[in-house]
Structure 1
Amino acid sequence: MQNIIKLALRLSIAVGFLSAVADRLGMWSEQFSSWGTWEAFLDYTALISPWIPESMIPAVGFTATVLEVVFAVFLLIGFKISLFAKLSGCLLLVFALSMSFSTGIKFAFDYSVFTAAAAAFALSTMKTKYLEVDSLITKS
């Protein structure tokens, strides 16, 4: 059963990251979109990061996007799950705290960002390997 839970955590965190990236790149229809465009995503990034200079917002948005894609890919393929789950938890916690301090804690709870961070940290503690590239590397 723990193997299925671990796989579900990996998939849900990874798909959550990839869905958010797809949204900011305009890949979701307007009906299902939170941002819909890169510019709208950068506006939101500026909103939840008022302590970051405006000139740095594009770099912050780009960095967050790259990290989300990289973390998602490694979680999906099962490479260094403990490390990338911890990093994912940290990134999600930064998002949750930024949302909480800038717009209030309600949105961080409504979007389950604290829950996703906790799930990532929980995933990082699961040591058994299941459908992971790491299993193939370890056998070699």
Structure 2
Amino acid sequence: MSEPISTAPESLRTNEAKGAHTASWQRLGILYARVALGSAFLSPVADRFGLWGNHASWGNFVNFTRYVAQVNSFMPAFTIPFLAWAATAAETTLGILLVLGIWPRKVALGSATLLFLFGTAMTISFGIKKPLDYSVFSASAGALLLSLFEVRKSPLNS
């Protein structure tokens, strides 16, 4: 009994189908990473302004500013309010842009940088365990990977 011989066009179609399937998963993964990272920025911003109610970590901006002082214990006290507002502005902007898919590569790179700086500040003030426990560096690495993808216009990312 002879094996069927695969024709070039048939194997080419199979490879094209696999490529299309992989591209679909890649687009879905990029969308998932963008929305997850964007939400991870926006949720704590909502917490700072009391929008999470009883489920809050800080519940208000004063408590958040105290936390910023702890994370940045190596910084002069007069810089803390600026750092709290700068972090809030950066997280709000990056979060919205990630969720909406605007300038995805640049925004992802900015997100990776912000998370790396946050993880570094946590390490200096609390030791390496805290940023590892809160997955700060893994989120930074995920954002960096996201910045490497060339995003094409499609209904999922426009």
Partner deviation per Cα, 1:12-63 (whole Å, 9 max, x = no partner): 0000000010111111123x22211111111110111122221221111101
Report deviation, 1:128. 3.0
Larger Rg: 2
* 1:22 is the counterpart of 2:46: yes
Structure 1 letter corresponding to 2:59? G
Task: Check the 8 A contact 2:97/2:107 in 1, yes or no.
Answer: yes
Task: Check the 8 A contact 2:69/2:77 in 1, yes or no.
Answer: yes
Identity, in percent, stands at 36
Greater RCO, 1 or 2 (C-alpha within 8 Å, sep 6+): 1
SS at 2:51's partner residue?
Answer: coil
Query: What is the alpha-carbon distance in structure 1 between the residues aligned to residue 105 and residue 57 of structure 2?
Result: 30
What corresponds to 1:44 in structure 2?
67
What corresponds to 2:140 in structure 1?
117
5 Å-filtered alignment, 1:59-70, equals 59-70=82-93
Query: What is the alpha-carbon distance in structure 1 between the residues aligned to residue 129 and residue 103 of structure 2?
Result: 33
SS at 1:51's partner residue?
Answer: coil
* 1:102 is the counterpart of 2:125: yes
Q: Which runs of 5+ in 2 are unaligned?
A: 1-24
What corresponds to 2:5 in structure 1?
none
Structure 2 letter corresponding to 1:66? A
Query: What is the alpha-carbon distance in structure 2 between the residues aligned to residue 110 and residue 27 of structure 1?
Result: 25
Query: What is the alpha-carbon distance in structure 1 between the residues aligned to residue 80 and residue 97 of structure 2?
Result: 26
TM-score, structure 1 normalization? 0.89
Query: What is the alpha-carbon distance in structure 2 between the residues aligned to residue 101 and residue 60 of structure 1?
Result: 16
* 1:132 is the counterpart of 2:157: yes
- 49-58 vs 114-123, greater mean Cα deviation: 49-58
1:8 to 26, 32, 36: 32
TM-score, structure 2 normalization? 0.79
Query: What is the alpha-carbon distance in structure 2 between the residues aligned to residue 44 and residue 37 of structure 1?
Result: 11
